[in-house]
Amino acid sequence: MPPTDAGAATGHAPATAAPALTTETAAPALTTGTAAPAADPASPGSVPVGPVSAGPPPAGPVPAGPVLDPAPAGPVEDTAEATAADSEDTLDLRLPEDFVAAFAQPPGTDASRADDLLDGIGDWGPTVTPVGAFRLLPVRIERDLPVVSRWMNDPAVAEFWQLAGPQSVTETHLRAQLDGDGRSVPCIGLLDGTPMSYWEIYRADLDPLARRYPARPHDTGVHLLIGSVADRGRGLGSTLLRAVADLVLDRRPACARVVAEPDLRNAPSVAAFLTAGFRFSAEIELPGKRAALMIRDRSLRHLL
């Protein structure tokens, strides 16, 4: 599964008692994912998030790694703060002006898949957070591939998401989800209209992850990757993880739990999930990593 780390990468596998979440130019990236895992034909459904999510795994909804480390199954997850401690190992990339401008469109003009299994993420709309208005928009390859690929090539992110390389590597990972049945949806996270993070939202109950824990119908996984060094190390990952988990619970009435599986080595990601109201449930073995199964319960959302 992709990573679910909260620093540079926080995206596919669920992301433990936690070290402080700190990521700066010289800090670990918040990433919760390992490239999202590819769908598993043998099961009713599968995911890569790769995420909360926190680094990514194999192509699909269960990522194995980066900043909020998603496991290779489906976004998970999404989908993040990596563990690179040297500024030399982290790339601070400016977004092209034309890329940012592509998101300056009226709400509702970015069509979502009506057939996804996550209740139309593209239509979820914005949510108000302490740091600004945040929104998830499903990835469009022609618009988003160059920037998502650059984020994946940040060493702090690559350690967990394992998607470094030419754009074709990231494209394969994205298309595995976009061409699937809608159980894993890769998204760009917009904060006050500016693209600043990559997420994978996936059906954890239809993902290979479901074989590793007592899954319930409609469990939803998260993987997260925060793209810019300037956005890491200041608590942004935790704030957005909480906002997205609550958005999932608000927009998906059938979902009682949001889960993530960050790499246990990614302490900043695990800490970010805890701060975001997730509880540590168990340690689980996933392809390419030992993960912390993190859960945010609908019944406890106003207590944690």
Q: What is the pTM of this model?
A: 0.71
In a domain, 276, yes or no: yes
In a domain, 266, yes or no: yes
Question: Are the beta carbons of 255 and 220 closer than 8 angstroms?
Answer: yes
Residue of 185, 64, 26, 166 lying closest to 120 (CA atoms): 185
* The pLDDT value given to residue 47: 35
In a domain, 164, yes or no: yes
The share of the chain scoring above pLDDT 90, in percent, equals: 59
In a domain, 115, yes or no: no
Number of domains in the chain: 1
In a domain, 118, yes or no: no
Give, in order, the Cα–Cα distances in Å from 137 to each of 143, 165, 189, 212: 12, 24, 7, 29
* The pLDDT value given to residue 115: 62
- pLDDT average, residue stretch 72-101: 47
With residue 222 as reference, give the H or E element that holds it: strand 220-226
In a domain, 98, yes or no: yes
* The pLDDT value given to residue 46: 37
- pLDDT average, residue stretch 225-233: 90
pLDDT tens sequence across 145-155: 999 999 999 99
Q: Which domain holds residue 173?
A: 1-104+130-304
Residue of 18, 15, 19, 16 lying closest to 3 (CA atoms): 15
pLDDT tier for residue 229 given thresholds of 50, 70 and 90: confident
- pLDDT average, residue stretch 196-208: 97
Helices (H), 23-134: 97-101
- Partners of residue 220 on adjacent β-strands: 203, 258
Q: 55-59, 117-121, 265-269: which range is least confident on average?
A: 55-59
* The pLDDT value given to residue 129: 97
In a domain, 121, yes or no: no
**CATH number for the domain that contains residue 152:** 3.40.630.30
Give the residue, 60 or 297, on which the prediction is more confident.
Answer: 297
In a domain, 123, yes or no: no
* The pLDDT value given to residue 228: 87
- pLDDT average, residue stretch 236-258: 97
Q: 4-13, 160-169, 195-204: which range is least confident on average?
A: 4-13
